[in-house]
Amino acid sequence: MYAIVDIETTGGHASANGITEIAICIHDGKKITRRFETLVNPQRDIPVYIRALTGITNEMVSTAPLFEDVAHEIFHMLKGQIFVAHNVNFDYSFLRYHLNAAGYELNANKLCTVRLGRKIMPGLVSYSLGKLCSHLGISNNSRHRAMGDAEATAELFSLYLKNDTANHIGQALKINSKEQRLPANLPKADIDALPWCPGVYYFHDEKGKVVYVGKAKNLKKRVCSHFTGNNPGQQRQEFLKSIHRISYQACGTELIAFVLEAVEIKRLWPKYNRSLKRFENKYGLYAYEDQRGYLRLAVDKHRKHMPSVYACNSLLEGYNLLNTLIDTFSLCPKLCFIQKNDQPCSGNNVNACACEGHETPEEYNLKVTAAMDELKKALPTFAIRDEGRTGDEHSCILIEEGRFYGMGYISHYFEADNIQQLKNHLTPYPGNDYIKNIVTGYASRHPERKVSFA
């Protein structure tokens, strides 16, 4: 037996919205054998745009039963039946959430008439309930009302049962089938195409735009994990509704996937990614030449389009580094913006300080250049050589002078002892401290995969 369900609600996610109307049609595979419908008092205001869409007003539900008053009857109508709805995860998440709040635990096999329509009647322009009914000649005089939509869905489901020559319904109901967990608009073929290897995956919306980027040690397993559970929250429900297609890039290692995910999130700025979007080096040590020709070092906030001599995460870290350079190379505290008052310079050699004109720009700049060269020498340059996507290649990530340079794949036989030759085989990418830290951390844990350069 099938329980064909439609509900009207005050909003798009169960955790913060109520049900205003519910209709259930019990279907025996040939016809409807029993009907149930009722308005429900959601105990909150129905937004004006929903009132306009459904015709259900606050006055209409003011005297209707609360959900907890009809929960017992609803639960026993659904218990043991196959739960069928158009975009089933929406209706199921609402009823499961509100039944649970009333003390009932709903666990039912599900069928989605959107997903079934794409399989049994492929090639249609739209699989919305209204467009399907119009195309198939199914009348619905109570559109966006629970019983009108439930009866239309029941008639649609009857047509599916008659035309399901490939047994798509039976396949979906198999015990080990997880298809009904998938978002309504996502083809199962996209899941089937995913490999069991590390990589980066992309969720696309109806227009093909990437709305989420993720990394995985196992692409198929990780992607499928997004569709387990019944989280009724707004973000998850909107997220699932937006997924229409999945693409992916296979990677040789999980480390490559980590790095590529960070790069792609910054490049694509997907709507549903939260972490890594805002990661930036907060401060940097910058060098520039002033109007008198003196090279000046300064700690400043991160500047997106100006390369820094050194990136740091705090102002304190930047000033500590700059003070060390001042002491080691006898730099001028005033020209480095450490001393900002009008008092005499507090440098190591006050009588020969550049800010007092005792050093020419050429003389002073040699010291600044030496300080920057020493700083660069202290920054690590190395590569990580690891497993590739196939047996005849290796993956490779390059850190040059403490900065992430790029990554790629090289031949199993390629000798990576020359940094310039190696760079010709890698793709440069923009980097940040997050990427540098995960790569250097990996290198410290796996020294046997680290390639150092003379």
Strand partners, 214: 201
**Residue 349: pLDDT above 70?**
no
Encoded tokens for 251 = 């990677």
For residue 255, give every residue at least 6 positions away whose Cβ sits within 8 Å of its Cβ, in sequence order, or none. 384, 386, 395, 397, 438, 439, 442
The answer to whether residues 88 and 180 touch, using CB atoms and an 8 Å cutoff, is yes
Residue 219, burial from CB neighbour count under 10 angstroms (0-12, 13-18, 19+): buried
pLDDT recorded at residue 280: 58
Percent of the chain with pLDDT over 90: 53
Domains and CATH numbers, the chain: 2-173 (3.30.420.10), 188-268 (3.40.1440.10), 284-378 (no CATH), 382-452 (no CATH)
| Confidence band, pLDDT 50/70/90 cuts, at residue 233 | low
The answer to whether residues 190 and 245 touch, using CB atoms and an 8 Å cutoff, is yes
> Which residue in this structure is represented by tokens 């310079």?
345
User: Beta-strand (E) ranges in 217-349?
Assistant: 245-250, 283-289, 295-301, 310-312
pLDDT recorded at residue 198: 96
| Confidence band, pLDDT 50/70/90 cuts, at residue 190 | very high
pLDDT recorded at residue 284: 83
Strand partners, 451: 383
CB atoms within 10 A of CB 374: 12
- Tens digit of each residue's pLDDT (9 = 90 or more) over 243-271: 999 999 999 999 999 999 999 998 899 99
Percent of the chain with pLDDT over 70: 94
Q: How far apart (Å, rounded) are the C-alpha atoms in residues 100 and 81?
A: 17
**Residue 175: pLDDT above 80?**
no
Q: How far apart (Å, rounded) are the C-alpha atoms in residues 301 and 284?
A: 6
Give just the sign of the alpha carbon dihedral 11, 16, 18, 19.
positive
Encoded tokens for 209 = 């735009």
Q: How far apart (Å, rounded) are the C-alpha atoms in residues 264 and 239?
A: 19
Q: What is the mean pLDDT of residues 204-208?
A: 90
pLDDT recorded at residue 157: 95
DSSP calls for 188-244: HHHHHT--SS-EEEEEE-TTS-EEEEEEESSHHHHHHHTT-S----HHHHHHHHH--
Phi, psi for residue 111 in degrees, rounded to 5: -130, 135
The answer to whether residues 399 and 392 touch, using CB atoms and an 8 Å cutoff, is no
Residue 203, burial from CB neighbour count under 10 angstroms (0-12, 13-18, 19+): buried
Helices (H) and strands (E) in the chain, counts: 16, 16
| Confidence band, pLDDT 50/70/90 cuts, at residue 37 | very high
3-state DSSP: the chain helix, strand, coil percent, rounded to 5?
40, 20, 40
Mean pLDDT (the chain) is: 88
Among the listed residues 59, 55, 24, the one whose alpha carbon sits nearest the alpha carbon of residue 38 = 24
**Inter-CA distances, 89 with 128, 239, 362, 393, 444, Å:** 15, 12, 71, 43, 45
Q: How far apart (Å, rounded) are the C-alpha atoms in residues 261 and 214?
A: 6
Residue 277 vs residue 69, higher pLDDT: 69
For residue 86, give every residue at least 6 positions away whose Cβ sits within 8 Å of its Cβ, in sequence order, or none. 6, 112, 113, 114, 129, 149, 153, 156
**Residue 297: pLDDT above 70?**
yes
- Tens digit of each residue's pLDDT (9 = 90 or more) over 39-70: 999 999 999 999 999 999 999 999 999 999 99
Q: What is the mean pLDDT of residues 434-441?
A: 86
| Confidence band, pLDDT 50/70/90 cuts, at residue 277 | low
Among the listed residues 81, 100, 103, 102, the one whose alpha carbon sits nearest the alpha carbon of residue 5 = 81
Please give, one letter per residue, the 3-state secondary structure of 144-189.
CCHHHHHHHHHHHHHHHHHHCCCCHHHHHCCCCCCHHHCCCCCCHH
pLDDT recorded at residue 248: 95
| Single-letter code of the amino acid located at 367 | K
Among the listed residues 54, 24, 42, the one whose alpha carbon sits nearest the alpha carbon of residue 142 = 54
**Residue 452: pLDDT above 70?**
yes
The answer to whether residues 364 and 358 touch, using CB atoms and an 8 Å cutoff, is no
Active site residues: 144
